[in-house]
Amino acid sequence: MSGHNKWSTIKHKKGAADAKRGKMFSKLIKEITIAARMGGGDPEGNPRLRTAVLAARGANMPKDNVERAIKRGTGEIEGANYEEINYEGYGPGGVAVLLEALTDNKNRTVAEIRHIFDKYNGNLGESGCVAWMFDKKGIIEVGAQGLSEDEVMELALEHGAQDVKQDGDVFEISSDPGDFETVRKAVEEKGWKIELAEITMIPQNTIKLEGKKAEQMLKMMDALDDHDDLQRVFANFDISEEDMLKASA
């Protein structure tokens, strides 16, 4: 499991996700809005919108909120005009950090992000400085209970997936982004429980952090995750679960 995913899992176990539900809803609404704007308001014909709507359902977002966000995206009702921007930089110890943002004020957003990097001994870099260190992948996590690795592997590879591995109580199926929808639909048709389904950025290698640098990195991740304009944060750190739990205590 990548450092960022491990960090997110530990935060969730400690209840941090529930405490930040309002921020989560805000980010999901932005994603639904821009997905509808770019690809239309029909989730069945717009894979990005479908993924966002499913994430909203998984977060128990009220249906009315989802429908309003779609209508803002299609122009049926007025709303903020968000722009997609990626930011890249380095955290403590040279950790690569890749950010996906949706903002209606680029100047404000970049200034605030630069401040976070500076505060935690990192630096915001130029476009392209770290993106090459990550691979774009489709990831689907399926509840492992009652399933064997062989049957998950057979279905996944038959529908274009690249790999299957067990991580605790889930099977993680990875694929090229272009095969993501095909694999997900095959899993859904089987009736298997999907714990997570997203197109994400996987680091090609990781940087191990300990002590003060690990603490700074986790504080930086918290600050970036809390920023209203940042949709997703990817980083290639490797911090032990023990150190993560200490830092989040």
Query: Could you tell me which residue, 22 or 3, shows the higher pLDDT?
Result: 22
CATH fold for domain 13-74: Arc Repressor Mutant, subunit A (1.10.10)
CB 179 within 8 A of CB 202: no
Domain extents in the chain: 13-74, 83-132+205-238, 134-203
The answer to whether residues 164 and 156 touch, using CB atoms and an 8 Å cutoff, is: yes
CA angle 154, 156, 160 (to 5 degrees): 120
pLDDT of 242? 82
Query: Does this chain's domain 13-74 share its CATH topology with 83-132+205-238?
Result: no
Is residue 72 within 8 Å of residue 78, measured between CB atoms?
A: yes
| CATH code given to domain 83-132+205-238 | 3.30.70.980
pLDDT band at 1 (very low <50, low <70, confident <90, very high): very low
Check residue 42 and give left, alpha or beta (phi > 0: left; psi -120 to 50: alpha).
Answer: beta
pLDDT at 117: 97
Say whether pLDDT at 80 is over 90: no
Mean pLDDT for 238-244 is 84
**For residue range 168-221, what is the model confidence (pLDDT) as tens digits?**
899 999 999 999 999 999 999 999 999 888 899 999 999 999 989 999 999 999
- CATH 3.30.70.580 for domain 134-203, yes or no, is no
**Predicted TM-score (pTM) above 0.85:** no
Q: What is the mean pLDDT of residues 110-127?
A: 96
Please say if the pLDDT value at position 92 is more than 80: yes
Q: What is the pLDDT of residue 10?
A: 56
Average pLDDT, integer, range 122-149: 94
* Average pLDDT, integer, range 140-151: 92
